Chain A
């Protein structure tokens, strides 16, 4: 069995594939930086903690509840900038709840901050 591209867990040692969690595959933003600053050579430098985002076109209330159960410190496997996948400890930050439309929530973005490579 191959390692799933995307996975989520309470820690990096207790991970579940999104399929196992009943979540659809997200459109992932590769691991990026919290801020870009310009250095004295005129080059942008990514600084601050690493950030990854998962965008879901549509999620049910149950699926959101699943994601919310991992809010805060968690483990995540996600896309890297070089198109490979990496395992990180992270802090999962979710958007505030809004009233779902026809029982579904559209354009839902989960953000993983403070990614630390494991």
Chain B
């Protein structure tokens, strides 16, 4: 039987488990002072454990007792200094909120929580100077889901085929499966690793690029059994994944120290179809994962009376929304500086800048997410002159950069981040050729009836897409409108702006596609599936086909809610919000004033000296005693003594 045939067989049931990660300590010590903010270092004594195992970007817990993190968490910026005799120095990521006191317990744990990194003056992340980071970019690892949950004796699958590097190519892969009993393909994109003993195992992937750069990311395999098990039946509500807000779920567990802000938490299932244990999902090797994320600290509600704690697990979107960061700005080197700004630091200037390079800057240099999370960026190599964002969180900044190429930042249930263009913003022929169909729903696949929301009239009377073409240091404004140059008598105006495009064809296409999407007859279809059917996700791009009134509609998955049908049955089902694809509407090029003239040079900096105040106008020349009038014609000033005469006699030029 195929996957879908098995899913359609009767008797699906499932058990959900919550696994809160409890990373072991790598190194423990006592603080011997406070943080020195010049280099964000803290010295320690009584160190024990593996100092060599303290890797850059590992998490350091600060606590009032051994192993605790009640006073906060920090990031190891780089390897610690070993001064011998248990003495040494930790170098941390800058964080003014950190408060370490003499005698605090410092515990480096085997985890890499995501942190933001900040530029100050000419330095990045406290002490990193610019060298060639914008010419030879670091490669970005991709695991196809950083965490796998398997049974003892099982095999974990990985797929590095989406590793990427701007301006170069991936030339090598090297996997390290510490603790695995056997593995295959350790230098290939699709290795496997088998673990016989339950426990928690780290996986390392070192990616090398043709430009000579390499970078390592980390993931984990959780092997279930006598040493490690999730907790069942503690879901307070459904697991929901939204295409914009990402995944989330609220759970309630017995309280324990491991339940802290930022701790990794995974909701996984054991599924049975046709009385056989097996799981089906869109990601190979992650079919049993309902949600991979981290505990959102502000949602933790401890109940001392019951010794329980309720909290929310947030997927990548929620995690990135909590990473506070400084404004981020980049310009292309060929763009003349404006706003009077000169001598931009090297960390702000790129050659041949693209949105992809800008997103690499945010994901890799302004944060640690490439170390611990999968992020894939759809490669748009259209030149862009400037990327700026004063948003306060990393997610907002990634979104602001992505929107310049009409891209969105989305995440799936397995914790993978995709920066990609929505299905609706691709031409129909592209959709057909490149966007997969997760499954086609027929009327036996949903419970009861579909809920279909139809538009009574168009939603958008005019869709616009405006942006610039950047070439040779010059900008050309372009725009497109749909369905025409005038708004329709119904609907609102909606648009994409500040796009970076390669030509007018891009903006007219986007305007037409946006109008087509927002004015499609069917706005939304909600389907409550009759099976424990998780073959689809809200990211990456995929279609779910639905047949309505004899017509098969390709739909994007906008929201997915997985919940227990009833406690007494073990039957989980899935509710989908689907958006049928729109058509391609006609569109026109916006006529800007001066269009057709050569591209304008971007504004240069204003003059250093302010304009001279003209002051009072100079007084007119004092006429001679007999002069009757002064006539000024441009620069030619003459006088006449006989204006009363029929033909005055004019003097020579003054």
Contacts and interface: CB of A to CB of B under 8 A. Distances in A.
Is B truly associated with A? yes
B637 to A, nearest CB: 94
Interface string A41-55: 101011111100000
A60 to B, nearest CB: 30
B447 A37 contact: yes
Contact of B13 (A37, A114, A117): A114
A48 B565 contact: yes
Interface residues of A, number: 21
A62 interface: no
Classify the secondary structure of B's interface with A.
loop
Contacts of B277: 116
Contact of B446 (A40, A88, A113): A40
Contact of B10 (A33, A40, A41, A115): A33
A38 interface: yes
Task: Give the residue among B275, B276, B442, B447 with the most A Cβ atoms within 10 A.
Answer: B275
Interface in B396-421: none
Give the top 3 A-B pairs by smallest Cβ distance, nearest first.
A48-B569, A48-B571, A40-B443
Contacts of B10: 33, 45-47
B569 A115 contact: no
Interface size band for B:
20 to 34
A47 B445 contact: no
Contacts of B531: 45, 47
Contact of A35 (B275, B446, B448, B566): B566
Task: Give the residue among B10, B446, B566, B568 with the most A Cβ atoms within 10 A.
Answer: B10
Contacts of B568: 34-35, 48
Given A35-B566, A39-B446, A40-B446, A49 B11 contact: yes
Nearest to A40: B443
Contact of A50 (B11, B443, B444, B447): B11
Interface of A: 33-35, 37-41, 43, 45-50, 88, 113-117
Given A34-B568, A40-B448, A49-B571, 15 more contacts: A33-B10, A33-B11, A34-B569, A37-B530, A38-B448, A39-B530, A40-B446, A47-B530, A47-B531, A48-B566, A49-B11, A50-B11, A50-B275, A113-B570, A117-B275
Contact of A47 (B444, B448, B571): B571
A46 B10 CA distance: 5
Contacts of B445: 39-40
B263 to A, nearest CB: 30
B11 A38 contact: no
Task: Give the residue among A45, A88, A115, A117 with the most B Cβ atoms within 10 A.
Answer: A45
Interface in B525-576: 530-531, 565-566, 568-571, 573
B275 A115 contact: yes
Contact of A117 (B276, B443, B450, B571): B276
Nearest to A35: B569
B41 interface: no
Interface string B436-478: 0000001111111110000000000000000000000000000
